Amino acid sequence: NFPVIAIDGPTASGKGTVASLLAEKLGFHYLDSGALYRLVALASEKQGIDVKNGPELGLLVPKLLILFKNSQIFLNGEDVTDAIRTENIGLRASTLAVHPEVRTALVGLQRSFRQPPGLVADGRDMASVIFPDAVLKVFLTATAIARAERRYKQLIAKGISAKLFDLLQDLQERDARDSSRGTAPLLVADGAKVLETSDLSIDQAVKTVLDWYQS
């Protein structure tokens, strides 16, 4: 089986950036599992499915035509790369991610990303549920305030206005939801190495994980 590096962590911890750079450096495939939850959020919103309806959301998943092409994401033929990145869709994704029906329906799709020569997968339950045999498990984290500041800078750079306090509050609500759900709560998996990135640059974080993988 091809090697998997699992990178889990809370919202805005920088795991997406670190994981995709790492995949690039190693020439591995990259799975952004959060994007899949966001795709379910967007598709279900378009179809008017209630975020509380786990069974119906679970049935929707196999009907979705999902394509990752270079850095673009297509849903049923439509380019939704930007549409899935809104705060509203992020919130909806985090809300529907509590349903076991949704999580189960996404397992096979996530595992199908494991292709030669290897995979870097980022999410919440990569190490615990999806790839328990990952060769390296990393739990990437940072303080809530450091994560809120990162998100704030990202939004401002994109010309989107934001309030640091609101972002901090939203992030803490997401942490609470991710940690308290019954199915696949966000936790440090058995055997995972914790990387605290509050005082690390992206390059330092990537280098640390690369050193762990190569040692």
Chain residues binding ligand CDP by CB under 6 A are 11-12, 33-34, 37-38, 90, 93-94, 97, 123-125, 174, 178
Strands 136-141 and 4-8: parallel
* Residue 30 CB, nearest approach to ligand CDP (Å): 13
Nearer to ligand CDP, 27 or 33 (CB): 33
Nearer to ligand CDP, 118 or 123 (CB): 123
Nearer to ligand CDP, 65 or 107 (CB): 107
* Residue 214 CB, nearest approach to ligand CDP (Å): 25
Strands 29-32 and 66-69: unpaired
Nearest-angstrom CA–CA distance, 94 and 38: 8
Q: Give the residue ranges of DSSP H helices in 87-159.
A: 87-96, 100-105, 107-111, 144-157
- The residue written with tokens 């206005």 in the block is 161
Residues in the chain: 215
Nearer to ligand CDP, 127 or 209 (CB): 127
Which whole-number Å values give the CA distances from 15 to 47, 153, 209, in the listed order? 30, 16, 11
CA dihedral over 184, 69, 41, 142, signed as positive or negative:
positive
Nearest-angstrom CA–CA distance, 94 and 50: 14
Nearer to ligand CDP, 148 or 214 (CB): 148
* Residue 117 CB, nearest approach to ligand CDP (Å): 23
CA dihedral over 183, 63, 88, 107, signed as positive or negative:
positive
Q: Which residue is nearest to ligand CDP (CB)?
A: 34
* Residue 11 CB, nearest approach to ligand CDP (Å): 3
Nearer to ligand CDP, 27 or 28 (CB): 28
* Residue 140 CB, nearest approach to ligand CDP (Å): 11
* Residue 121 CB, nearest approach to ligand CDP (Å): 8
